[in-house]
A and B are shown apart, each in its own frame.
Chain A
Amino acid sequence: MVLSELGLPAGGSYWFARFLVRRGLALLYLLAFLVAAFQFRPLAGEDGLRPLREYIERAEFRERPSLFYYVPSDRAIAVAAWAGVGLAALALVGAPAVVSAPFALPASMLLWFLLWALYQSFVNAGGVFYGYGWESMLLEVGFLAVFLGDPGTAAPGVVVWLLRWVLFRNMFGAGLIKLRGDDCWRELTCMDYHYETQPIPNPLSWYAHHLPDRFHRVETLGNHVVELAVPFLYFAPQPFAAIAGVATIAFQGWLMLTGNFSWLNALTIVLAFSTFSDGVLAGLAPVAAPATAAAPLPFVVLVLLVAALVLALSVRPALNTVSETQVMNTSYDPIHLVNTYGAFGSITRDRYEIVVQGTADETVGPDTEWRTYEFKGKPTDPDERPGQVAPYHLRLDWQLWFAAMAPTPRRSPWFPRFLRKLLEGDEATRSLLAHDPFPDGPPEHVRAVRYRYAFTSPAERSETGRWWSRERVGTYVRPISEGDLGSRRFGAGLR
């Protein structure tokens, strides 16, 4: 079959792909900077759960470059975050398009470069609270977006293909780590657990969990096909590349419908737009790409140099991906230019939750009344339906999911500081919570209890209205007071 018989070009121009990628990316940048504006200071600011000074003491600037290395202040954090929000809003409305022709290209490049550089500062200084694969991926895609040109000039096809290369590594890396990482992916049973044990379930997770076992088998097999076979088609001629893009968007859309994964799925969808050529879109809808001028020669040369750089930096991540010692979500350079990706290489079979409680009682005893802190995303109250928060990212809630996997907070050194902040009634920390049961003053004692959570069965839910059942499995941190802070007893209380 000759593709031209379908009326579709094998290659094509990419005006619409650039438009969709840029606008989608601007929206995600906007979200990311809003998250930084609202959460960075209490999590990793001057007096955060992991104070900014720890970043400065542990790394050289060249290892983790950030503005905050030289200006380690909450004010700088706020200025950078809100500047990012403003710049992302400009990108979202396509502000560079209103700049006249000779200056449109440099204005566009400057805008996207500033977004990338500012966000780099947050990721590199954010420590464990920014240690997610989608942070590096946002930076990698954001870097390539600098070189997508302006709306008046032809979109550089080379950069569009580099975006597909990111998409390929993201999907293919996720597919390989699964087959390598956990027997349940090979036995097609992982989805029996995933919806229940994922970091932050959403309103439809309970329903997805209770779909028939046969459905879970088929969707797990479908996962392997979409992550391991389909990605090769991103590099195929049209319409196969676009079909692969649609399959990827549908797959990521299902994940968005049934879970909260920050902006991982949305960013992957944005990348999948790069598989659409103008010819394919024009064949599907009554749209026509505007006429564009050829890109200036210096810009073309710059794009080719960037492509050569990305390809050279791709060697190690590519070798890592196909190696049986594959490591996912790793950066190979300090500014996250080319990275490895992957998700859910192993699936947790049981869901554990840390329930944080406080009391106004000066002395703790059997009759002490404990009041529970509620979080914005992670399950706590068994009666409460899981909420929809993605593509927004709740960094504290995600870290609590990791922390709950261990019976003590030894591997989560920020957790004692979190309890300290609750005992002090710290306003910034309280802003990370959905409900503080002590609105009139901090508690006398706090404690953390570890529970195993499971979705209720349909029969249990119709009878009790509960979404979760739970059983207590241990004490995560025994009751401590402000007087214990800094004492040996406080340290002992953590064990």
Chain B
Amino acid sequence: MFPGRDAPDMERFVQYILGGGIALVGGLWVLAGVGRGTPVWAGGLVAVLLGSLGLAVGIGTELAV
């Protein structure tokens, strides 16, 4: 995600959270910006669902309960 010398060592759970959060926000903007029922709208909905899942997985995998 961050190529080059300064690329940080990012844990897997952070990758899930970052990817999920970005997908969630992107999906919400798509839903807000296009007409309901169109293919792009459906793509936005999928992004929202996958993004939410990514956030849940990212947080959930770190819990030890």
A positions within 8 Å CB-CB of B:
1-3, 10, 176, 179-180, 183, 186-188, 217, 221, 224-225, 228-229, 231-233, 235-237, 240, 319-320, 322-325
Contact = CB atoms under 8 A, between A and B. Distances in A.
Contact of B10 (A183, A233, A322): A322
Contacts of B59: 179, 224-225, 228-229
Given A2-B35, A232-B22, 10 more contacts: A2-B32, A187-B65, A217-B65, A225-B59, A228-B17, A233-B25, A236-B29, A237-B29, A322-B8, A323-B10
Nearest to A231: B21
Contacts of B14: 176, 322, 324
Contacts of A323: 8-10
Most chain B beta-carbon neighbours within 10 Å: one of A10, A183, A229, A231: A229
Contact of A228 (B8, B36, B58, B64): B58
A240 B48 CA distance: 12
Nearest to A189: B65
A10 B22 CA distance: 18
B64 A187 contact: yes
Contacts of A176: 14
Contacts of A187: 63-65
Contacts of A3: 31-32
B13 A324 contact: no
A176 B11 CA distance: 11
Interface string B26-42: 00110111011000000
B45 to A, nearest CB: 9
**Secondary structure of the A contact surface, majority rule:** helix
11 contacts: A2-B35, A176-B14, A187-B65, A225-B59, A229-B17, A229-B56, A232-B25, A233-B25, A236-B25, A319-B6, A324-B9
B8 A319 contact: yes
**Secondary structure of the B contact surface, majority rule:** helix
Given A2-B32, A228-B58, A319 B64 contact: no
A389 to B, nearest CB: 33
A224 to B, nearest CB: 5
A229 B57 CA distance: 11
A212 to B, nearest CB: 16
Contacts of B36: 1-2
B35 A324 contact: no
Contact size class for B?
Answer: 20 to 34
Contacts of B13: 179
Contacts of A325: 8-9
Contacts of A225: 59
A342 B64 CA distance: 22
Contacts of A228: 17, 55, 58-59
B18 interface: yes
B52 to A, nearest CB: 8
Contacts of B22: 232
Contacts of B28: 233, 236-237, 240
Nearest to B51: A232
Contacts of B17: 228-229
B10 A229 contact: no
Nearest to B41: A2
B10 A179 contact: no
Contacts of A322: 8, 10, 14, 18
Contact of A188 (B9, B33, B35, B65): B65
Contacts of B9: 323-325
Contacts of A183: 64
A237 B28 CA distance: 7
B32 to A, nearest CB: 4
Contact of A1 (B31, B56, B65): B31
A224 B24 CA distance: 17
B57 to A, nearest CB: 11
Contacts of B11: 180, 324
B44 to A, nearest CB: 11
Contacts of A235: 25
A1 B8 CA distance: 38
Contact of B64 (A186, A231, A236, A324): A186
A16 to B, nearest CB: 21
A10 B21 contact: no
Given A186-B62, A324-B11, A10 B33 contact: yes
Nearest to A10: B32
Contacts of B2: 319
Nearest to B21: A232
Contacts of A221: 63
Contacts of A320: 8
Contacts of B63: 186-188, 221, 224
